[in-house]
Amino acid sequence: MRTWYNNTVHYAGQWLRNLIAAGHIAPGDADECSIEEIKLDKLQGYTQCHFFAGIGTWSYTLRKAG
């Protein structure tokens, strides 16, 4: 499973990368581009996509819920 996270705020993008590295949210990649720049081919291979990901709350909650 590979997850793609998007948040245009640099601080939030780095926070997501730190949470991924620590294993707190699903493994994947954090991107800080504008949602207007996202092309479908960029999302190929990801099983989850979190647009406006914030600080990964949905991923964290889903992992805790099992």
Q: What is the pLDDT of residues 1-47, one digit of tens each?
A: 799 999 999 899 999 999 999 999 999 999 999 989 999 998 999 99
Distance CA 42, CA 64 (A): 28
Tell me the pLDDT tens digit for each residue of 37-48. Answer: 999 998 999 999
For residues 27 and 14, what is the distance between their CA atoms, to the nearest angstrom?
14
pTM attached to this predicted model: 0.84
Give the span between the Cα atoms of 64 and 38, in whole angstroms.
Answer: 29
Phi, psi at residue 21, to the nearest 5°? -60, -35
Q: How many CB atoms lie within 10 A of CB 37?
A: 10
Domain ranges of the chain: 3-65
Residue type at 34? S
Specify the pLDDT at position 54. 86
